[in-house]
Chains A and B, each alone.
Chain A
Amino acid sequence: MKESTDTRALRPWAAGALGGTGIILVALLAALVASELKLNWVERLVGAYLVATNAERPESGAIWEKGRKAQTARMAIDKLASDREASQRMARNAGTLNEIVAALAPGQGAMLSAEHFRELYQKIPSGIAAEMISPFDLLRFTSEKRWTRAYLEKSSEGLTIYLLEANNQVLRQFRVAAATLALMARRGAAASQSLEDLASFQNRIYTAERFFAALSALTEEERRGLIAQPERLLEVSGQITRVGLSDEALAGFVDVGVEVQAGSQRRVILIQGQDWAVWRLRSLLEGKPSAPRGGRRSQEAYSAQ
């Protein structure tokens, strides 16, 4: 009897809870769950939303991190390769050894063909060139056909040159000191408009007439020692008016300044004479030898006279 009373009491509640709003809510919930299980609409909605907002989200996570590392690494490697290619390109187009040296950073190198290196070698003053490597050795390497390339490596001390076989085996290596490179760099440069502009020439400036008179008194060997390649001076347009001799010696060479007048234009061309030949000329020009200011070798040469 009590059971029946309870059942009667439940009915109004059930009618209230499950009927009307309650039933609608429960049915709605059940429909939502069933449709989700069947149609995956939550996943689709969320996925679609995330696809739509993808571009606004950060490039984070393992794969992006790896991508960034790869990109940074590739950029670094690309720079290395580009730098090397640039120095190679510059080396291929270089007209003188000094152009190559100027373009290389310490530690950097450039590879040249054997033919190109021979061309550059011929442009170096013969005295300096012979000190680097004997032309007869180059002739031998060329005739043996083993020498294919030359690798030039710049360092703070100067330039190391490797003559290489096809498999990169070194046939000969030699070093060109920084001082020698500096000397070569000055050769042939139009240094200034007037000899008076150059401090080291102040004390020894001679007219062309006097200079060539003294030059003609030298032996052929002395003249070659002073001006290794006179034909280069012949190529210069204009008239030589004055010649200056530097007080300073560097790596066994002394600067000789040749002042040239072409119309209203005046300029000084620098060449390097071997120190012993310059002092021989000076003794003729001045009647007595005078000691140069720098260079151990220069001092020795002076004493020997």
Chain B
Amino acid sequence: MTGWFAWLRTAFYAGLLLSGLAAAGLLIFFFVSVQDLPRVPDPLGRIIETPPTEIYAATGERLMIIGGREAVPLNRVSPFFIQAVIATEDHRFWGHHGIDHLRILKALWINLFRSGRVEGASTITQQLAKNLFFSFQRTYQRKFRELGVALQIEARYSKNEILEAYINQIAFGVGAHGIEQASRVFFGKPALQLSLPEAALLAGLPKSPTRYNPFRHLERAWERQKVVLARMAAVGYISAAEAEKAHQARLSLRPPSDAQPSGDYFTDVVLRDLEERYGSDAVHHAGLKVFTTLDPQLQALAMESVQNGLAKLDQILKVPAAVGGDPGAHPQGALVAVEANSGAVRALVGGRDYAETEFNRALQNNRQPGSGFKPFLYYAALEKGGLNPAAVFVDRKVAIPVPGQPAWSPRNFSGEYEGPMILKRALVHSVNSIAAQLVDRIGPKAVIDAARRCGIKSPLAPVPSVALGTSGVSPLELAAAYASLATGGVQHEPFWIRRVEDSAGRILEERILSGRRTLDASITFQLVDMMRGVLDEGTGAVARQLGFQLPAAGKTGTTDEFNDAWFTGFTPNLSVCVWVGFDRATSMRDPQGRGVTGGRGAAPIWAEFMRRATEGAPRRDFAVPADIRFLQVNPTNGQPALPWGPRSMEVALRGGQMEAIAPAFNGREPSPTGGGQ
């Protein structure tokens, strides 16, 4: 027995000694470790001062804020939110000195003795220290350092200063940092005006901003709000009845499309461009002011037109509604509207829903344009081939020899051949066999040259089929290239940034709106006149049926197996390209097996957009060059039309061509207003 007591006595003193040694070791460890703790800035508010980069529309409306913080003092924040945060994150915040002993003990107990549960014990001060200085890596060393900084913050700053810094830097998701920004993003109001239900909802988000994002998971966010309200009741800030009432209250979330702090297809393009020019750090931290070309009204119309058109396409294709979540399961769409006489991009939609997929089909999706490429072929044929719109070709089965490969035999879309017809009719009805004969005559390089002169930059294969659009291009390229036709042959590079200023308002760059003549004005007009026929009586006639009546020209495009459907058209002011199709090459056919063509899938979107975008705009015709004369011809033989003959077609002829076709005719001169029709 005496031996046992002796052992106990030894153990007691050994324990004391070890405790002493541990305390000394801990003290040494502490002094060594704190040497490289991060310095805490003074004042604490300085850490959240970063000027935001602001992106503006052409109308002056602010489209987006990047970086920066909209810091607000505590007295500009709803007391409900402050109570909700304290109740949820650290209800003994006002009493502790950086560490909540009881919470640590509770967390230890739970973590050690309740398997499967993990309880955190970080106070608001510790969270602030972690957010400001440390990574989210879970290590004991990081935890120790975080604790040290938290103690320093507590020793140096008042509780109000700490809380203010905390609520101004926490992330609420969808790009919102700080309570003021979050309040505006989710509820469209300043933080001071948050009601109890709104404050509780926001206070629940920082735990997992993505998981509780109310724009996408309202039910989860609502459940989380209930937890926050229960905590507020438990702490005594509100009664249980008030908590229940607040939970049942209807929340007026701002529509996500209005909020959009995380961007859209257009601002994505602008940001990428800015980062290439100035670097990512400058864009996110230097407080630039960026003035873009976007017209918010046109952009809203473009978005609506694409979504309406795609909804109709879903119905045509009988795409099941349950496939939501997989962006590849629905047909997608893109629309780009370019101001013809400057190249300014006025509207840009890169897909059905940016929140669903950020892949920008307006720029990144190089798909085959099909017959949408034919205008470049016809321009080259008129210029290099010495042809005119009344030149006669025979629509027949053709076999174009290709060196080293089997002969190329493109078929007409209808599968039928109509015999002789003039070039204008062939373009209006998108006759492939005649397009093949033209490229055989002038060569693919001439077609590529015409496309390049219009601004097409994508790689183009020098093969005959390039004339039928077998090389991929983007909707932006096509819209900008057609704009060169709208201006009578003056090419403008498309752009979206008009001016960039630094945070003090000093100009860093401004866009000079210069174009260069790359096409002959008279030949371009002949082509435009032919393309007017596409809308008036050709494959794009649906646009007229849907109510768009202003002077315009365009061309449909459909690829093999109906994988892509295009319509690109323009007025003298605006060039617009629409593409629809699946992300994965999938045929667009209705249950009856009928394919979706450019006229069926894309032209209705184009027509809806153009009709609404030009509402109330004055009628303006394409300018007619002085040497252009108009002549009514027989569409099958190209001869001047006779009063008793078949339905005639008007063609635009330039200097010398009239005499060659009809020496006895003078043709119709352009009207004084420049009207061609």
In the bound complex, CA of A79 to CA of B570 (Å): 42
Q: Which of B29-37, B323-331, B585-593 contacts A (4 or more CB under 8 A)?
A: B29-37
**Nearest Cβ in chain A — how far from B65, in angstroms?**
15
Given known A13-B5, A66-B285, A73-B286, contact A59–B39 (CB-CB < 8 A): yes
> Using an 8 Å CB-CB cutoff, how does the interface string of A47-62 with B read, 1 for contact, 0 for none?
1111101110111111
User: Quick one: which of A79-96 are within 8 Å of B by CB?
Assistant: 80-81, 84-85
Task: Give the distance to chain B from A281, nearest Cβ to Cβ, in Å.
Answer: 41
Complex: A49 Cα to B514 Cα, angstroms: 65
Q: A294 at the A/B interface (Cβ < 8 Å)? A: no
Contacts of B87 in A (CB 8 A): none
In the bound complex, do residue A47 and residue B9 qualify as a contact, i.e. CB atoms below 8 Å apart? no
Residues of chain A lying within 8 A (CB to CB) of residue B148: 46, 50
- Contact assessment for A44 and B135 in the assembled complex, using a CB-CB cutoff below 8 Å: no
> In the bound complex, what is the Cα–Cα distance between A46 and B156 (angstroms)?
12
Q: Is B98's CB under 8 angstroms from A37's CB?
A: no
Complex-state Cα separation, A66 to B286, whole angstroms: 11
Q: Shortest Cβ distance from A43 into chain B, in angstroms?
A: 4
Q: Of A10, A16, A43, A73, which one neighbours B285 at CB under 8 angstroms?
A: A73
Q: Give B394-416 interface residues, CB cut-off 8 Å to A.
A: none
How many Å lie between the Cα of A169 and that of B503 in the bound state?
Answer: 26
Select from chain B the residue with minimum beta-carbon distance to A59: B39
Docked-complex contact A50 and B152, CB < 8 angstroms: yes
A217 on interface, CB distance cutoff 8 Å: no
The reply to whether B282 and A76 contact each other, CB–CB distance below 8 Å, is yes
Instruction: Give the interface segment out of B181-189, B504-512, B595-603.
Output: B504-512
Candidates B154, B156, B279, B503; contact of A43 at CB < 8 Å: B154
Encode contact with A along B260-304: 1 for CB under 8 Å, 0 otherwise.
000000000000000000110110111110000000000000000
Of the listed stretches A130-138, A160-168, A251-259, A261-269, chain B binds A160-168
Question: How far apart are the CA atoms of A6 and B153 in the complex, in Å?
Answer: 55
Q: Confirm or deny: B94 has a beta carbon within 8 angstroms of a beta carbon on chain A.
A: no
Q: Is the CB of A62 within 8 A of B132?
A: yes
Measured CB to CB, the closest approach of chain B to A108, in angstroms, equals 11
- A47 CB contact (under 8 Å) in B19, B42, B156: B156
Contact of B34 with A60 in the complex, beta carbons under 8 Å? no
| Contact between A37 and B154, CB atoms less than 8 A apart | no
Chain A residues near B36 (CB-CB < 8 A): 57-58, 60
Give 1 or 0 for each of A13-51: 1 = CB within 8 Å of chain B CB: 100110000100100010000000100100110111111
A77 at the B interface (CB under 8 A): yes
**Interchain CB contact under 8 A, A77 and B278:** yes
Contact B9 A54 (CB under 8 A): no
Query: In the complex, are the beta carbons of A62 and B508 less than 8 A apart?
Result: no
How would residues 5 to 45 of chain B score, 1 for a CB under 8 Å from any chain A CB and 0 otherwise?
A: 11011001000100100000000001000111111111000
A70 at the interface (CB under 8 A from B): yes
Contact B512 A63 (CB under 8 A): no
A63 touches B282 (CB 8 A): no
Q: For the complex, what is the distance from the CA of A37 to the CA of B8, rounded to whole Å?
A: 29
Across the two chains, which residue of chain B brings its CB closest to A11? B5
Q: How far is the CB of B24 from chain A (nearest CB, A)?
A: 15
Q: B30-71: which residues lie under 8 A (CB-CB) from chain A?
A: 30, 34-42, 47, 50
Q: Evaluate whether A66 and B37 lie within 8 angstroms (CB atoms) in the complex, with A6-B1, A162-B512, A168-B512 already known.
A: no
Give CA–CA (A37, B104) in the complex, Å: 12
CB-CB under 8 A for A76 and B279, given A46-B30, A47-B155, A51-B155 = yes
B97/A168 in contact, CB under 8 A: no
Is the C-beta of A170 less than 8 angstroms from some C-beta in chain B? yes
- Residues of B near A62 (CB, < 8 A) are 131-135
Partner of A40, one of B96, B507, B511, B515: B96
Which chain A residues border B515 with CB–CB below 8 Å? 170
Given A57-B36, A84-B506, A10 and B5 touching (CB < 8 A)?
A: yes
Q: For chain A, residues 161 to 203, give those with C-beta under 8 angstroms from any C-beta of chain B.
A: 162, 164, 167-170, 173
| Chain B minimum-CB-distance residue to A36 | B101
Give CA–CA (A164, B97) in the complex, Å.
Answer: 65
- CB-CB < 8 A to A69: which residues of B? 281, 285
A51 touches B506 (CB 8 A): no
Q: How far is the CB of B421 from chain A (nearest CB, A)?
A: 41
Whether the Cβ atoms of A54 and B152 lie closer than 8 Å is yes
* Complex CA distance for A25 and B13, rounded to whole angstroms: 10
A173 vs B517: C-alpha distance when bound (angstroms): 12
Chain A neighbourhood of B286, CB < 8 A? 70, 73-74, 76-77
Q: For residue A278, give the distance in angstroms from its CB to the closest CB of chain B.
A: 36
Q: Which residue of B lies closest to A49 (CB)?
A: B34
Task: Report the count of interface residues on A (CB-CB < 8 A).
Answer: 53
Look across to chain B and name the residue whose beta carbon is closest to the beta carbon of A9: B1
Interchain CB contact (< 8 A) of A44 among B19, B97, B342, B504: B97
Give CA–CA (A167, B513) in the complex, Å. Answer: 8
**A50-B342 in contact (CB<8A):** no
B37 touches A173 (CB 8 A): no
Determine if B151 is an interface residue (Cβ-Cβ < 8 Å). yes
Shortest CB distance B89–A (Å) = 19
Identify which of A6, A44, A48, A55 contacts B39 (C-beta below 8 A). A55
Is B2 at the interface (CB under 8 A from chain A)? Answer: yes
Contacts of A216 in B (CB 8 A): none
Alpha-carbon distance A107/B92, docked complex (angstroms): 61
**Chain B residues, Cβ within 8 Å of A170:** 512-515
Contact of A51 among B35, B101, B152, B284 (CB under 8 A): B152
| Cβ A43 vs Cβ B281 within 8 A | no
A78 within 8 A of partner (CB): yes
Q: Measured between alpha carbons, how far is A13 from B10 in the docked complex, in Å? A: 11
Q: Give the shortest distance, in Å, between A133 (CB) and chain B (any CB).
A: 15
Does A64 make an interface contact (CB < 8 A)?
yes
Contact status of A54 and B514, CB under 8 A, knowing A47-B97, A47-B156: no
Whether B151 and A47, one on each chain, are in contact in the complex, defined by CB atoms closer than 8 angstroms, is yes
B99 within 8 A of partner (CB): yes
Q: Is the CB of B50 within 8 A of A70?
A: yes
B residues less than 8 Å from A167 (CB atoms): 513
Closest to A170 in B: B514
Contacts of B39 in A (CB 8 A): 54-55, 57-60, 64
Q: Does B502 make an interface contact (CB < 8 A)?
A: yes
Which single residue of chain A is at the shortest CB-CB distance from B42?
A54
Known: A10-B5, A69-B285. A169 touches B506 (CB 8 A): no
* Chain B residues with CB under 8 A of A81: 502, 504, 506-508
How far, in angstroms, from A67 to B42 measured CA to CA in the complex?
13
Q: Does A72 contact B (CB under 8 A)?
A: yes
Asked if A17 and B12 make an inter-chain contact with CB atoms under 8 angstroms apart, the answer reads yes
- Among B6, B98, B341, chain A packs the most CB atoms within 10 A around the CB of B98
Q: Determine if B508 and A53 form an interchain contact, defined as CB atoms under 8 angstroms apart.
A: no
Hey, which chain A residues are within 8 Å of B508, CB to CB?
A: 77, 80-81, 84
- Sample 14 A-B pairs with CB under 8 A, ordered by A number: A25-B16, A37-B101, A47-B98, A51-B155, A53-B34, A54-B152, A57-B36, A60-B36, A64-B38, A70-B281, A73-B281, A81-B506, A164-B512, A167-B513
Closest 6 CB pairs of A and B: A47-B155, A61-B133, A70-B285, A61-B38, A50-B152, A40-B97
Given contacts A62-B132, A170-B512, 15 further A-B contacts (CB under 8 A): A47-B97, A47-B154, A54-B152, A59-B38, A61-B134, A63-B41, A64-B41, A74-B282, A76-B279, A81-B502, A81-B504, A81-B508, A84-B506, A85-B506, A170-B515
B residues neighboring A (CB under 8 Å)? 1-2, 5-6, 8-9, 12, 16, 19, 30, 34-42, 47, 50, 96-99, 101, 131-135, 148-149, 151-156, 278-279, 281-282, 284-288, 341-342, 498, 502-504, 506-508, 510-515
